[in-house]
Structure 1
């Protein structure tokens, strides 16, 4: 007498997908352990349970996709409104202030700061033209994409001193996370400025977050702020 192995039965059913079509009466008589407490249920019931579970998983994924889609739409709308606000500024001396204030307002950011170097002489009196350490400029030059990360125990970020640019300076509570956006002319290797986005939420600018919209902000800000540069 030949004893069939589990694999042999599996291989046979895979090779004959119409088996249960030809022997449909078996579907009602075969039983398998149920997913709860081991209660035996028919093969049809077990298949229905499996399909319902798959449907739940698909519905969850669809819900997540819709959620992310709505978030992206909202972010794109905010970016559009921010762009509209900064390109309408006619007095170049007001551009840095509008760039920062509109970011705070539209993206619900607690703190934003920016610095420019190599500015034209008639803009040298602006707060954004305050001296910047050489190491900070070199750091900005090396940024090909926006930097995001936590501040606590991050000695590299602390050495840059960019948190001191934020409103309140050394007397303000230290931010928990930062995004640093280098400003540069198109295709330029060297930067001419740096935008600092700060948050008390360590997860707001986590190092694994996507930076597509931050990169768009950096490019658009660079376009308008370049009017102040020699």
Structure 2
């Protein structure tokens, strides 16, 4: 004989009312501690367990999750500190540059050494250069572009195919592209943070206006 499923509407009580009552009265089981051991909950690996055991398991899982989150935050903080120190040192080096060639050299050498980028370039966009103007207008409508390029675009910007790129428009009235390329196709992506590049963009725009 099969059991007949009881429709939700025919239950002798409203489960939501019980749920809300327990949430509003967290000391309920303190007043009735015998219920903690009397209540049994299904468990995939251990059969039925008491409410206390189930709560302890959930707390252990929550502690493990928090430990993972803390470890991730500490690793992120360490990376951010490393980037901050690098950016500060690079800024002082760039401010010491007396001409455009030395600025390009310091910029490229520093970024390649720190992040293992394959290409770092400052590229002027000339009116007569149709391909470069198309990149300027299409890829840099929002000032930044992170991701992949077509083979033709990559060869025009870097002279070879690349994995992924970061393109930065220094300023609307300064037709210069700050272009960085990585061999890793997933290194630069649309959702990445642009804090470091924004700081470099502002400094480079200031330096190029002076040089």
**Residue in structure 2 matched with residue 37 of structure 1 by the alignment:** 45
1:65 paired with 2:73, answer yes
**Residue in structure 1 matched with residue 156 of structure 2 by the alignment:** 164
**Residue in structure 2 matched with residue 82 of structure 1 by the alignment:** 90
**Residue in structure 2 matched with residue 48 of structure 1 by the alignment:** 56
**Residue in structure 1 matched with residue 136 of structure 2 by the alignment:** 140
Aligned CA distance change for structure 1 residues 85 and 204 (closer, same or farther; 3 Å): same
Distance 1:84 1:163 in 2: 32
Aligned CA distance change for structure 1 residues 25 and 199 (closer, same or farther; 3 Å): same
**Residue in structure 1 matched with residue 4 of structure 2 by the alignment:** none
Distance 1:11 1:101 in 2: 62
Whether the 8 Å contact between 2:41 and 2:48 is mirrored in structure 1 is yes
Counterparts in 2 of 1:167-182, with a 5 A limit? 169=159, 172=160, 174-182=161-169
Whether the 8 Å contact between 1:150 and 1:207 is mirrored in structure 2 is no
Q: TM-score, normalised by structure 2?
A: 0.80
C-alpha deviation, 1:134, in angstroms:
4.3
**Residue in structure 2 matched with residue 128 of structure 1 by the alignment:** none
Distance 1:115 1:210 in 2: 23
Deviations 1:142-165 (A, max 9, x none): 5443211112xx4xxx55x45334
Query: Which ranges in structure 2 are unaligned for 5 or more consecutive residues?
Result: 1-10
Deviations 1:1-55 (A, max 9, x none): x933534433443454332121122223322223x33511121111111111111
1:196 paired with 2:179, answer yes
> Could you tell which deviates more after superposition, 3-12 or 103-112?
3-12
Distance 1:78 1:220 in 2: 14
Whether the 8 Å contact between 2:104 and 2:121 is mirrored in structure 1 is no
1:101 paired with 2:109, answer yes
1:213 paired with 2:196, answer yes
Aligned CA distance change for structure 1 residues 117 and 31 (closer, same or farther; 3 Å): closer
Q: 1:150 aligns with which of 148, 151, 159?
A: 148
C-alpha deviation, 1:117, in angstroms:
5.6
Compute the RMSD of aligned alpha carbons.
2.7
Whether the 8 Å contact between 1:146 and 1:215 is mirrored in structure 2 is no
Deviations 1:99-143 (A, max 9, x none): 22222223321111222368xxxxxxxxxxxx8724534653654
Aligned to 1:192, what secondary structure does the other structure show? Answer: strand
**Residue in structure 2 matched with residue 124 of structure 1 by the alignment:** none
Aligned CA distance change for structure 1 residues 216 and 26 (closer, same or farther; 3 Å): same
**Residue in structure 1 matched with residue 37 of structure 2 by the alignment:** 28
Aligned CA distance change for structure 1 residues 30 and 192 (closer, same or farther; 3 Å): same
